[in-house]
Structure 1
């Protein structure tokens, strides 16, 4: 018999939430699928200028609430410019990416159902401080690490989309022409 996991009441503060560094971003796990019976996850993020994922889509609905900063989202070919107080909904199956345009941005990022947070908790490194990660050169990814990441993406319903990263191409053109 497949027993469903129940959500449990919980309280987490930003200061005591498990925090990780990955892809130049600080991620704090406010609630995970473990706490919500798999129905929902909520992550607080501190992102530097230029950060954000390349085009991809999820098997989950994804929501963003921008607390501070400016972010350009590209969702299903539509450009959405979000500032503090903006809410962005990315329905499941929608190809999307985003780019932080301000010096930094803080946001709440949620998924229904939960699952994506495993990408951060399993592939990221525990944060040594509640700051952006220190800059360091990224060593080449080994074939074993790449296979582990691809397997995890399949398990959590994250799908990379191969093709141009329009948000990064526009940014490169702005910096070379301006």
Structure 2
């Protein structure tokens, strides 16, 4: 449950996507523009840069809504019986509690990810990303990185559970995301 944070205790700040706000996360580069600790747990905002193969397995956010605003590239989302494709300048909203997955469909992706707490819970996705990441050493995608395809899944499952994220089994994925081809199934990126 979220502790109530008084607005007076929050501080105004300015932050940009730069090395001091960036982490290497599962083969991607993530800049933390607003963390839950900055917003009283109400929301977090990250800039996510990635390439095909950096995607997470199908999952559910129990504590927050998630919104993607694509800055560069193309993403293909699966949520319930929907397949939603987002290009630069488009937004995808994924409600709290809805199983979802995505593919990166362009050679390079840059998107904003906004998560908003639902009810009395604080956002947890930003903490999960930080706990799964390591400090960035450059503002380029890492070349030799651990991804969800190469990592021990028990690590992500444990950290996810502590931060309101539940990963789906193959059986749950087949039932809840009927159009999703499957985690790790190669998808051709589209050049634009």
Q: TM-score range by the shorter chain?
A: 0.7 to 0.9
Equivalent position of 1:150 in the other structure: 157
Residues 1:26 and 2:29 are matched in the alignment: yes
Equivalent position of 1:77 in the other structure: 81
Contact 2:74–2:109 (8 Å) recurs in 1 = yes
Contact 1:17–1:30 (8 Å) recurs in 2 = no
Structure 2 matches for 1:132-171, cutoff 5 A? 132-136=141-145, 141=152, 146=154, 149-163=156-170, 166-168=180-182
Gaps of 5+ in 2: 118-122, 175-179
Residues 1:54 and 2:54 are matched in the alignment: no
Please report the TM-score for the alignment, with normalisation by the length of structure 2. 0.78
Q: Secondary structure at the match of 1:61?
A: strand
Paired residues in the alignment total 170
Change (3 A) 1:136 1:107: closer
Q: Secondary structure at the match of 1:146?
A: helix
User: 2:184 and 2:81 mapped to 1: Cα distance?
Assistant: 14
Deviations 1:141-161 (A, max 9, x none): 3xxx935x4343122110101
User: 1:140 and 1:89 mapped to 2: Cα distance?
Assistant: 28
- Once superposed, what is the RMSD of the aligned Cα atoms? 2.7
User: 2:146 and 2:159 mapped to 1: Cα distance?
Assistant: 24
Gaps of 5+ in 1: none
Residues 1:10 and 2:13 are matched in the alignment: yes
What's the CA shift for 1:171? 5.1
Please report the TM-score for the alignment, with normalisation by the length of structure 1. 0.84
Change (3 A) 1:140 1:47: closer
User: 1:76 and 1:17 mapped to 2: Cα distance?
Assistant: 37
